[in-house]
């Protein structure tokens, strides 16, 4: 019946004025016919509910599967965004509602079963949206892929936790997992192969992807994975033990809720207006320095339905994770996500210069260490020597954040993961600066920070703010390269299964004894390399700010940081 449904919607394409219909388990959907920037026709089904609205007594609880509907559901319109707090320079303009657990399916006009790419947006677990305006299919659907983009709860709505059985947390990750279950159950109706699903995320979405690899909750729901500029072992992706409980009680107290028991806190917060919760979070983050990601994943108690109950590094070392082909990557200047915002505010720059020893520890999550001030002095000396932090050190501050937030955690995790995984692990560094950049979303636009956070996505997803009309031929060639790599990987688990005039060098996987990575500096500057800013990586190996990843210190480290 499901296969027949897809054959039926394909036949409707013969009539340009018709809307395609598809039958899934919940009911019938009406979609639309659209066209990529390259002129390929595809079908779009937007705002499909994969879960019950997480409102009332479902607020702050694990999601429930979506219920059936009567009649035909209109899937031609963009959905609402989940309630969020704009912690970065950009704002989501999509209307917001708690009833936001939707996904979008974009599929070519074909009767073949195609590989599926399920995309999870980022936003620091605090903001972002899976709408067609931000992560559109107008580039990637030139390939024979089915693209699914997923909305999930953000901020307190998705990650509030008392670290107990009443409010264990991680509901945003559980939303994503339920969406993956929906894909497994329904994607065949859209021409997608449920046995060939690649999960792909950027930033917090990239970290989410790694959480799914590590969690038994999502086992069997995907077959390959891609994390761009985010991984579960970074300093900004996991709250420390007790911190989530404290933040939850702080929020409850500010909203005049009783805090004597978890049950009272939950029942009171479930009754508070959602806009009041969001307003209070804005007030809370004023007391935090950048990047203000105060609600995020947590290690849960060992309870039925828990998403993750052990530290990611311990799970990696146990080998008890989903063994799938995996791509991890970053951009050369990912840290501009933070530095550009700091340089947008003179007071922030001055504070960095005048009080570096106290400002940086909470930013890099080593503020509980007794040696935090000494560590700060070493970091400042390494990146700035004896220079003041001012307008002449923008690239240096960007390097610091790139290394601490992205490069070091990712490379250290790669080296660990590759020792325990039987599947290939690929790493890339993206450094192509084309006609467009996401820099305008991060704050200071007076300076060229390089290839910034999310710039690799420009060549994979259409964004309404980044017009296609001014793309150069080199930009278009870069787009062809990036989409081909993703297409190859989704089909075979290998981004370069064969070489041709477009991609002339093989992307070699990381080995336990060799750091191979794909250097993507332009459409004609792509090859496997083995070294990248080794002095910067080795410095962070000696900094005891990620003890789980770097638990054993060599003699130099002990002397430097004793």
Instruction: Burial-class residue 555 by CB neighbours within 10 Å (0-12, 13-18, 19+).
Output: exposed
128: CB partners within 8 A, 6+ apart? 84, 92, 121, 122, 134, 154, 204, 205
333, containing H or E segment: none
Closest of 132, 114, 127, 111 to residue 32, by C-alpha = 132
484, containing H or E segment: helix 473-492
- Active site (annotated) includes residue 203: yes
- Bridge-based pairing of strands 102-108 and 146-150 is antiparallel
Question: Is-contact 468 436, C-beta < 8 A?
Answer: no
Q: Is the peptide bond before 61 cis (omega within 30 degrees of 0)?
A: no
Name the H helices within 187-335: 204-214, 243-254, 262-271, 274-285, 312-318
CB contact burial 508-530 (16+ within 10 A = b; e otherwise): bbbeeeebbbbbbeebeebebee
Report how far residue 437's alpha carbon sits from residue 230's, in angstroms, rounded to the nearest whole number.
Answer: 19
Question: Is-contact 228 201, C-beta < 8 A?
Answer: yes
Location of structure tokens 């933040």:
247
Question: Is-contact 174 307, C-beta < 8 A?
Answer: yes
Q: Cβ of 306: how many Cβ atoms within 10 Å? A: 19
- Active site (annotated) includes residue 223: no
57: left (phi over 0), alpha (psi -120 to 50) or beta: alpha
Which of these is catalytic: 203, 208, 322, 462? Answer: 203
Question: Is-contact 417 316, C-beta < 8 A?
Answer: yes
Active site residues: 203, 453
């Amino acid at each position: 019946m499901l296969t027949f449904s897809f054959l039926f919607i394909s036949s409707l394409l013969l009539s340009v004025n018709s809307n395609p219909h598809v039958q899934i388990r919940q009911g019938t959907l009406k979609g639309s016919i659209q066209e990529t920037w390259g002129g390929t026709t595809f079908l779009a089904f937007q705002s499909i509910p994969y879960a019950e609205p997480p409102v009332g007594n479902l607020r702050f609880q694990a999601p429930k599967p979506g219920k059936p509907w009567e009649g035909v559901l209109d899937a031609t319109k963009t959905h609402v965004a989940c309630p969020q707090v704009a912690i970065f320079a950009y704002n989501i303009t999509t209307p917001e509602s708690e009833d936001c657990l939707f996904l979008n399916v974009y599929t070519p006009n074909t009767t073949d079963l195609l590989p599926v790419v399920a995309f999870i947006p980022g936003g620091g677990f605090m903001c972002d949206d899976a709408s067609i305006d931000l992560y559109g299919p107008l580039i990637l659907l030139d390939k024979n892929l089915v693209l699914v983009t997923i909305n999930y709860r953000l901020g307190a709505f998705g990650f509030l936790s008392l670290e107990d059985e009443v409010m264990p947390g991680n509901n945003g990750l559980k939303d994503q997992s339920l969406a993956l279950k929906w894909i497994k159950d329904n994607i065949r109706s859209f021409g997608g192969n449920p046995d060939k699903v690649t999960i792909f995320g950027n930033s917090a979405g990239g970290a989410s992807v790694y959480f799914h690899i590590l969690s038994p909750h999502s086992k069997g729901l995907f077959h390959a994975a891609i994390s761009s500029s985010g991984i579960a072992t970074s300093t900004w992706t996991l709250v420390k033990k007790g911190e989530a409980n404290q933040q939850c009680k702080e929020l409850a107290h500010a909203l005049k809720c009783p805090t004597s028991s978890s049950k009272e806190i939950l029942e009171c917060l479930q009754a508070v207006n959602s806009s009041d919760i969001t307003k209070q979070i804005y007030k809370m983050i004023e007391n935090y320095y950048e990047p203000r990601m105060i609600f995020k994943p947590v290690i849960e108690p060992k309870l039925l339905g828990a998403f993750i109950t052990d530290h990611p590094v311990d799970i990696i070392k146990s080998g008890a994770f989903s063994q799938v082909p995996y791509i991890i990557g970053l951009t050369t200047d990912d840290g501009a996500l933070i530095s550009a915002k700091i340089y947008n505010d003179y007071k922030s720059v001055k504070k960095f210069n005048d009080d570096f020893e106290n400002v940086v520890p909470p930013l890099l999550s080593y503020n509980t260490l007794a040696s935090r001030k000494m560590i700060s002095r070493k970091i400042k000396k390494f990146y700035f020597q004896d220079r003041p932090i001012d307008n002449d050190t923008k690239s240096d501050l960007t390097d610091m954040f790139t290394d601490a937030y992205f490069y070091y955690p990712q490379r250290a995790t790669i080296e660990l993961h590759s020792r325990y995984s039987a599947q290939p692990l690929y790493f890339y560094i993206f450094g192509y600066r084309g006609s467009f950049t996401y820099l305008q979303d991060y704050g200071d636009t007076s300076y060229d920070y390089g290839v910034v956070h999310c710039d690799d996505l420009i060549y994979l997803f259409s964004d309404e703010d980044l017009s296609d009309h001014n793309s150069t031929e080199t930009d278009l060639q870069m787009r062809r390269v990036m989409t081909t790599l993703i297409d190859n990987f989704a089909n075979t688990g290998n981004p370069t299964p064969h070489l041709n005039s477009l991609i002339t060098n093989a992307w070699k996987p990381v080995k336990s004894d060799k750091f191979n990575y794909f250097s993507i500096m332009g459409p004609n500057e792509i090859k496997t390399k083995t070294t990248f800013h080794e002095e910067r990586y080795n410095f962070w190996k000696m900094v005891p700010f990620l003890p789980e990843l770097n638990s054993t210190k060599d003699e130099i480290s002990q002397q430097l940081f004793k």
